[in-house]
Amino acid sequence: MTSLPYAEVIGDPIAQSKSPLIHGFWINALGLSGDYRRAHVLADDLAAYVERRRTDPDWRGCNVTMPHKAAIMDLVDDPGDVRATIGAMNTVVRQPDGSLIGTNTDAAGFYAPLAEIDLAGAPVIVVGAGGAARAVLFALARAGAGPVTILNRSPLKAMGLLATFGLKGEVLALDAPLPPAALLVNASSLGMTGQPALDLDLSPLPEDAIVYDLVYSPLETGLLRAAAARGLATVDGLDMLIGQAALAFELFFGVAPPEGRDDELRALLLA
Ligand code: NAP
């Protein structure tokens, strides 16, 4: 029996993950002999899962989703600077000798649609202070953005993040009037299906501001609708989802995803 190189996404629950669809699309488009699966891994089984997989030469690695993004950092051989920076790991890559390297592709995935924009010294508003916000703030700090205003339900958490990422800025309540900003990012769960709406008055934003919503279910959130109605440029959550997956795909399979197929992939993800 021949065996195929494979990667997978692990989490609990895992049925909702769109990663198998994205990676499977690229594997087919490139005609690779490889596979990408989903694996339901419970917190109590995480360490045993990692030890089993590290001895499997066909296993190229895994993407990691809730609730394992923190615990996995203790189980890889080389976590790089992920713990000290973003504080959450979403990708594990197996080296040929069985050692495991961990990284986080969310920050680069978030930043990819903004790469052509000079954010140095640009005022930015971030809504949220959870795991996704950490990746966003890490990328913004790297880009030299600031001051950064964080709007969050729990102000202390947000203040801690400004300090962690060495960002100048302030923390405001979710219902505070917005300061002017070049970029507004929703990194909270607000606006997601089943969650309360994110209701912001966008009128203080200048007309060249960009509004970026990480939420991808639904894809067209109330925030993006309001931004488009004001004529502002918008970026939706699928850009980041596809961007973080693209970086992991290359780490697993050694080739970049095919170019020029994003519209097809987006249509598949929305079907
Ligand atoms: P998380 O760690 O649980 O953080 C959730 C954030 O939303 C926190 O700031 C929390 O405020 C806030 N929040 C939740 N419910 C709220 C409510 N009822 N009222 C006010 N604030 C509320 O979640 P996460 O992993 O950061 O994910 C956040 C969002 O980003 C989700 O919609 C997720 O799907 C999306 N996301 C998208 C991508 C992508 O690739 N597009 C990647 C990662 C995440 P407190 O701090 O006060 O609790």
Using CA atoms of 57, 60, 63, 68 in order, give the dihedral in degrees to the nearest 10. 30
Residues 199-217, mean pLDDT to the nearest whole number: 97
Q: Are 158 and 97 in contact (CB under 8 A)?
A: no
Q: Best substitution site from 188, 198, 199 to test ligand 1's pocket, by max atoms within 8 Å of Cβ?
A: 188
Taking the centre of ligand 1 as the mean of its atom positions, its distance from the CA of residue 190, in whole angstroms, is: 7
Phi/psi zone of residue 187: left (φ > 0), alpha (ψ -120 to 50 degrees), beta? alpha
In angstroms, the Cα distances linking 239 to 72, 74, 213, 243 are: 25, 29, 10, 6
Cα–Cα distance for residue pair 32/106, rounded to 1 Å: 25
Mean pLDDT of all residues belonging to the chain = 96
- The 10 Å Cβ neighbour count of residue 220 is 13
pLDDT bucket at 2, cuts 50 / 70 / 90: low
pTM of the predicted protein model: 0.92
pLDDT confidence band for 252 (50 / 70 / 90): very high
Q: What is the pLDDT of residues 214-243, one digit of tens each?
A: 999 899 999 999 999 999 999 999 999 999
Q: Residue 131: which pLDDT band, with cuts at 50, 70 and 90? A: confident
Average pLDDT over residues 41-53: 98
Instruction: Dump pLDDT digits (tens) for 147-182.
Output: 999 999 999 999 999 999 999 999 999 999 999 999
- Give how far Cα 8 sits from Cα of 46, 50, 191, 193, Å: 14, 12, 28, 26
**Three-state DSSP class for residue 62:** strand
CB 238 within 8 A of CB 213: no
Q: Determine contact, residues 5/253, Cβ cutoff 8 Å.
A: yes
Q: What is the mean pLDDT of residues 1-28?
A: 92
Q: How far is the CA of 14 from the centre of ligand 1 (A)?
A: 18
Q: Which of 153, 185, 215, 223 to mutate to test the pocket of ligand 1 (most atoms within 8 A of CB)?
A: 153
pLDDT bin (cut points 50, 70, 90) of residue 183 is: very high
Report pLDDT digits (tens) over 51-104.
999 999 999 999 999 899 999 999 999 999 999 889 999 999 999 999 999 999
Q: Whose CA is nearest to atom 40 of ligand 1?
A: 241
Whole-number Cα distances in Å, 59 to 27, 76, 80, 178, 231: 15, 15, 21, 47, 47
Residue 262 near residue 242, CB atoms below 8 Å: yes
251 burial class (0-12, 13-18, 19+ CB within 10 angstroms)?
A: middle
The number of angstroms, rounded, from the C-alpha of 46 to the middle of its chain's C-alpha atoms is: 21
Q: How would you class 40 by CB atoms within 10 Å of its CB: exposed for 0-12, middle for 13-18, buried for 19 or more?
A: exposed
pLDDT bin (cut points 50, 70, 90) of residue 3 is confident
**pLDDT of residue 119 exceeding 70:** yes
